[in-house]
């Protein structure tokens, strides 16, 4: 199963009010494991950078001035995600910006059915929160010390680890391994203390009398056909 964990950085909060994407970061996962394949790009938003947004991600208008426009990388982005499910934290925010940018370049938007929102998963799993990305890293002991500011690719890499924990992948494996290890240890301990098997000093006498054996042969003979009982009778006669 192929999934793309992704994040965006923007100039603000409203894609319909003129705010634009300035960074996209994507991490490919196959069967809930990162493959090492990524998609990362900074974008020229064709507008100024509000101070509030700059304080969040540290991307200035001067830094972004020579970066490509979304139109320049739109097809590369679509090619990278393919038909994979898209995973994001507070996905409605990121998808609102992605689809707004796609509409601007006259490309089809991405259907909401393809999107997995880890914030919604976290709220169901931890209803009393907090469920920010940083809080989830703390809950699951994921190192986010590099996250001094928001960055789309770094946040995607961290979110991929959080997503694995939220869906029980790593914890389930560890739990199963612990149970299996404990079971093996108990079995080994029991075997090490088990008494050795003893052999009978004398073979037990045959419990069936000759008359009973003869009566059984006569009964089997009345059944006809190739019966498995005949094999046992022959073995007894040979003995």
Q: Which segment of 21-25, 123-127, 200-204, 219-223 scores lowest on mean pLDDT? A: 200-204
**Sheet of 2-10, strands arranged across:** 33-42, 21-30, 2-10, 85-88, 115-117
- The candidate with the shortest Cα–Cα distance to 162, out of 94, 128, 127, 116, is 116
For the domain made up of 2-171, the CATH class stated in words is alpha beta
Q: What is the pLDDT of residue 216?
A: 79
Tens-digit pLDDT profile for residues 135-185: 999 999 999 998 878 999 999 999 999 999 999 865 444 444 444 555 556
Tens-digit pLDDT profile for residues 32-66: 999 999 999 999 999 999 999 999 999 999 999 99
pTM (predicted TM-score): 0.70
16 versus 186: the higher-pLDDT residue is 16
Distance, CA of 174 to CA of 13 (rounded, Å): 40
Torsion, Cα of 152, 154, 157, 163 (10° steps) = -70
Tens-digit pLDDT profile for residues 109-121: 999 999 999 999 9
Q: What is the pLDDT of residue 235?
A: 58
**Which of 57, 126, 150, 193 is the catalytic position?**
150
Q: What is the pLDDT of residue 175?
A: 46
Backbone angles phi, psi at 62, to 5 degrees: -65, -40
- Classify residue 119 by its DSSP letter: H
- Peptide bond before 8: cis, by omega within 30 degrees of 0? no
Average pLDDT, the chain: 87
* Mean pLDDT of the 81-99 span: 98
The residue with tokens 């003129």 is: 18
- The candidate with the shortest Cα–Cα distance to 133, out of 176, 110, 162, 103, is 162
Is the distance from CB of 22 to CB of 57 less than 8 angstroms? yes
Distance, CA of 47 to CA of 61 (rounded, Å): 8
150 tagged catalytic:
yes
pLDDT at residue 236 tops 90:
no
Tens-digit pLDDT profile for residues 91-104: 999 999 999 999 99
pLDDT at residue 193 tops 60:
no
Query: What residue ranges do the domains of the chain occupy?
Result: 2-171
- The candidate with the shortest Cα–Cα distance to 40, out of 23, 28, 53, 52, is 23
> Percentage of the chain with pLDDT > 90?
68
Is the distance from CB of 20 to CB of 48 less than 8 angstroms? no
Q: What is the pLDDT of residue 213?
A: 78
pLDDT at residue 87 tops 80:
yes
């Amino acid at each position: 199963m192929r999934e793309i964990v992704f994040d965006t950085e923007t100039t603000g909060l409203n894609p319909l009010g003129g705010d634009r994407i300035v960074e996209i970061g994507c991490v490919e996962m196959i069967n809930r494991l990162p493959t090492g394949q990524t998609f990362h790009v900074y974008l020229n938003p064709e507008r100024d950078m509000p101070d509030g947004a700059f304080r969040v991600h540290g991307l200035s208008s001067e830094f972004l001035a020579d970066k490509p426009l979304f139109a320049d990388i739109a097809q590369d982005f679509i090619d990278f995600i393919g038909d994979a499910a898209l995973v994001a934290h507070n996905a409605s925010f990121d998808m609102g910006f992605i689809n707004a940018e796609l509409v601007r370049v006259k490309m089809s938007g991405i259907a909401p059915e393809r999107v997995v929102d880890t914030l919604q998963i976290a709220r169901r799993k931890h209803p009393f929160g907090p469920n920010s990305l940083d809080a989830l890293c703390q809950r699951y002991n994921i190192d986010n010390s590099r996250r001094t500011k928001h960055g789309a690719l770094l946040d995607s890499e961290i979110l991929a680890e959080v997503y694995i924990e939220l869906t029980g992948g790593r914890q389930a494996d560890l739990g199963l391994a612990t149970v299996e290890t404990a079971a093996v240890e108990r079995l080994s301990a029991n075997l090490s203390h088990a008494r050795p098997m003893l052999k009978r000093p004398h073979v037990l006498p045959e419990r069936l009398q000759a008359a009973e054996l003869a009566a059984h042969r006569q009964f089997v003979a009345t059944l006809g056909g190739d019966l498995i009982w005949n094999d046992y009778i022959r073995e007894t006669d040979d003995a």
